[in-house]
A and B are shown apart, each in its own frame.
Chain A
Amino acid sequence: MAHQVEGEGWQGIVGDLSADRKAFRNVPWGKAMMWLFLLSDTFVFGCFLTSYMSVRMSTTVAWPNPSEVFALTIGGAHIPLILIAIMTFVLISSSGTMAMAVNFAYRRDRARTAALMLATAVLGATFVGMQAFEWTKLISEGVRPWANPFGAAQFGSTFFMITGFHGLHVSAGVIYLSIVAFKVSRGVYERKGNYQIVEIAGLYWHFVDLVWVFIFAFFYLW
């Protein structure tokens, strides 16, 4: 799969960065800009997770057990963390459908691309819905950004900040994907002869899934 252009490896890096033209040879500017945006977003979430680590390490009050806080009783069975597990599977599935949408877009398969992108958006909306359910449940149990009945007060503030900011990203992604899917089905990119926007929108969506991987590990499982 290597690009057959001169200068691979370190020579390629130096060549790309020092050449008197746009950097990243053969990378469309839209894709490069999306990557830079995602890089900056990485730092935003990185700072959130680091601040969460700081308050959790420095509190003298016991941290609430997420396994118990996010447990659900389904049909009489008490299952720990089950809602979060389902949300994880939903988001991963949406990433899978998105990856296939990008693939079909480059094959110029308009109908399948639009359908898979809509499926991605629906799964994303499902995720946000489940998150709304989770927030409602916690708020009704008395969890607030400044206090909660389970232990350290910082649990509430970091929970609402981190999952809220992530949920905002998912919601924005659902809107973004719906618009692009609509334009795909109308044949806008077919006429332009350029389906790169699908891959660029896909990058954003996979990033949202990626952030959830870290939130799941550090906030829910740790």
Chain B
Amino acid sequence: MEQAAGQRVEGQTHPIGVYLKVWGLLFVLSTLSYLVDYFHFHGYLRWSLIIVFMMLKAGLIVSVFMHLQWERLVLRYVVLLPPLLLLVLVALMVFESDYVLLTRSTGG
């Protein structure tokens, strides 16, 4: 209640144009990532394009639609830093999966 008249209410009022622009950008980026598949790009070109478009889309959604760029720095770090730990899990599982594949393909 006490925030109702305070800074919060005006805090997340941005021009509608911002959202429309981001919406348009997300459409363009989604079309581009679809075209990656449509034109049958392969190998590292395909994977890097997919990752780039994915990160751009994720960044736009989190920073503008979810207003994270206008939030307090501590909230931004609390939200954005812990998911980086997943990269440790991914790295571990890459080693594990390579090993499993090795044992499977050598008929062990």
Residues of A within 8 A of B (CB): 1, 3, 8-9, 12-13, 16-17, 23-28, 32, 35-36, 38-39, 42-43, 46-47, 50-51, 53-55, 57-60, 67, 80-81, 85, 88-89, 92-93, 95-96, 98-100, 102-103, 106-107, 192-196, 199, 202-203, 206-207, 209-210, 213-214, 216-217, 220-222
Query: Could you tell me if A46 and B98 are in contact, using CB atoms closer than 8 angstroms?
Result: no
Q: Say if the beta carbon of B45 comes within 8 Å of chain A.
A: no
Contacts A42-B83, A192-B1 given; does A54 touch B93 at CB 8 Å? yes
Can you list 27 residue pairs at the A/B interface with Cβ under 8 Å?
Answer: A3-B7, A12-B74, A24-B74, A26-B3, A27-B72, A42-B83, A42-B86, A43-B82, A57-B101, A58-B96, A88-B34, A92-B26, A95-B61, A100-B16, A100-B19, A102-B12, A106-B12, A107-B13, A192-B4, A193-B5, A194-B4, A195-B9, A199-B12, A203-B66, A210-B62, A220-B37, A221-B37
> A206 near B13 (CB under 8 angstroms)?
no
The 7 closest A-B CB pairs, nearest first, are: A57-B97, A96-B23, A58-B100, A217-B54, A58-B97, A46-B86, A16-B74
Asked whether, in the complex, the Cβ of B73 is within 8 Å of the Cβ of A8, the reply is: yes
Residue pair A28, B13 in contact (C-beta under 8 Å) = no
Whether A96 pairs with B19 at a CB distance below 8 angstroms is yes
CB pair A39–B83 under 8 Å, yes or no, is yes
Q: Is the CB of B90 within 8 A of A53?
A: yes
For chain B residues 21-44, which have a beta carbon within 8 Å of chain A?
Answer: 22-23, 26-27, 30, 33-34, 36-38
Do most interface residues of chain B lie in helix, strand or loop, or is the interface mixed? helix
How far, in angstroms, from A195 to B51 measured CA to CA in the complex? 36
| Cβ-defined contact, A213 with B89, below 8 A | no
Using A12-B72, A103-B16, A214-B58 as known contacts, say yes or no to A26 and B7 having CB atoms under 8 A apart.
Answer: yes
Chain B residue numbers with a CB within 8 Å of A1 are 70
Q: Which of B85-108 contact A (CB under 8 A)?
A: 86, 89-90, 93-94, 96-98, 100-101, 104-105
- The chain B residues found within 8 Å of chain A, CB to CB, are 1, 3-14, 16, 19-20, 22-23, 26-27, 30, 33-34, 36-38, 46-47, 50-51, 53-54, 57-58, 61-62, 64-67, 70-75, 77-79, 82-83, 86, 89-90, 93-94, 96-98, 100-101, 104-105
Cβ A39 vs Cβ B61 within 8 A: no
A58–B79 CA distance with the chains assembled, in angstroms: 32
What separation, in Å, do the CA atoms of A194 and B8 have in the docked complex?
A: 10
The one of A17, A32, A92, A203 that contacts B23, using a Cβ cutoff of 8 Å: A92
| Residues from chain A with Cβ under 8 Å of B4 in the complex | 192-194
